[in-house]
Amino acid sequence: MDKLKLRTYDGIAVTGFLMLPALFSTGLSKLAEQNNTAAWIALLAAFVIMLCLFLITAPLMKRYEGKNIIEITSLVMGRPFGVIYGIALATYFSYFTGVHIKESVEILKIYGYNLTPIYIIAGLILLTAVIMNFYGGHAIVKSAGFFFVIIIVGIIFIMLLGLNRYNPDYLAPVLGNGISDIAKNSLFTASVFDNVIILFLFAPAFSNTAKMRKAGVLSISVTAAAFVLLYLCFIMMFSPSVASKMMSGFMEMGKSSYYNHFFYRFESILLFFLIFSSVMLASIGLFAVRESSACTFKLKPSKIITVICAVPVLIATFIPANILDLTEKYLPVIRQYSVFFMAGVPLLVLIVSTVKRVFKYEKI
């Protein structure tokens, strides 16, 4: 595990950067489109679902203290299944990272760098991620810890600046299209928070499982609070019908915020938050791909492995043809359906391990 050492705060920052960047791109607008005024309730329900799934599967890591989820899967399910899961996890993070880079690049082009070719922006983000991975997980974790505070401050900053424009009437009806619609969307919305499961991959880096569990719970809680509060502000600034048609709710809030004649239109400042979050997500995502691949094939992480792992990320970045193709076909995979893979496999391994333990097929 690259001799990585994680504290509770480090775990919060690393997982936070895999979840929060959705706020700066198309995340808010898509929530408004799918859930109307009740999206914040669906987010709260999704938070509870993902928190329960995390707490249910966390004892698996305690049972095999000092091992990551790929190693545990190999022990419980057999080496072939462990290899398949490791490859699937590396593939997922390659896809996840590439699609997010593409989304960030499209938003950057729309709101600030419209004359810059996509391949240059995407290439610079991925190149920065590769260089950070050359310096190892320690550099990535420290950078994440530093920039995470800046990102949280930025979110609070943009919410406060819009205070004079909020209209609570836009929150009605509170239940949106009804309880049945909220219930139907909540499970899929849980995919927004499912990347907390990456802590299972980095479990050996924590001094004990309790710290890993604490980091996961706090990470999901902080992310859910940011999503819910920012979404409420977004809807109160624009009506749901208008909000659902916007590209980036966060950037539009920056454009519409007004403090006085000399202090308004903050979208240029907010571009830096988008860039910081994109670089950190790409770095952490690439690190997850590298560690998954190295663990699966029992390789020692190196610069060559890092470059090789960057190739599928680069390919995934340029698969979507345009922003419409991206939002309609590729983003739903990681924002609506990924929870079944990310939380489903650890849950399956936990069940099999428990059955083996009960019937004495496995010594714990």
- pLDDT tens for 198-213 read 999 999 999 899 999 9
SS3 313: helix
What is the predicted pLDDT for the residue at 364? 46
Nearest C-alpha neighbor of 20 from the set 142, 265, 196: 196
Please report the pLDDT score of residue 362 as a whole number: 56
Architecture of domain 8-358: Up-down Bundle (1.20)
Residue 351 has which token pair?
């069940």
Contact 156, 21 (CB under 8 A): no
Cα–Cα nearest to 231, from 96, 33, 51: 33
Other CB atoms closer than 10 Å to residue 264's CB: what's the count? 13
Please work out, in degrees rounded to the nearest 5, the angle formed at the alpha carbon of residue 200 by the alpha carbons of 197 and 203: 145
CB-based contacts of 258: which residues, under 8 Å, 6+ apart?
161, 164, 165, 264, 265
CA 168 from chain center: how many Å?
A: 29
Structure tokens at 194: 């499912």
> Residue 352 pLDDT more than 70?
yes
Its pTM stands at 0.92
pLDDT confidence bin for 86, thresholds 50/70/90: very high
Beta strand ranges found along 53-141 (DSSP E): none
> 319: which residues sit within 8 A by CB, 6+ positions away?
98, 99, 102, 330
Output 362 or 335, whichever has higher pLDDT. Answer: 335
For the chain, give every domain's residue range: 8-358
Residues 6+ apart with CB under 8 A from 346: 57, 60, 69, 197, 200
Structure confidence by residue, pLDDT tens digits, 293-329: 999 999 888 899 999 999 999 999 998 877 767 777 8
Q: Which carries the bigger pLDDT value, residue 257 or residue 201?
A: 201
pLDDT at 15: 94
Please give the pLDDT value at position 220: 94
Is the model more confident about 185 or about 146? 146
Q: Is the dihedral of CA 242, 245, 250, 251 positive or negative?
A: negative
Which of the four pLDDT bands, split at 50, 70 and 90, describes residue 265?
Answer: low
Least confident among 166-170, 262-266, 293-297: 262-266
pLDDT, position 196: 94
The residue with greater pLDDT, 267 or 223, is 223
Closest CA to 105 of 323, 309, 269: 323
Q: How many CB atoms lie within 10 A of CB 209?
A: 19
Predicted local distance difference test score (pLDDT) of residue 351: 94
pLDDT value of position 270: 79
DSSP labels for 246-257? -S-HHHHHHHH-
pLDDT at residue number 75: 93
Predicted confidence band of residue 53 (pLDDT cuts 50, 70, 90): very high
Cβ count within 10 A of residue 200: 25
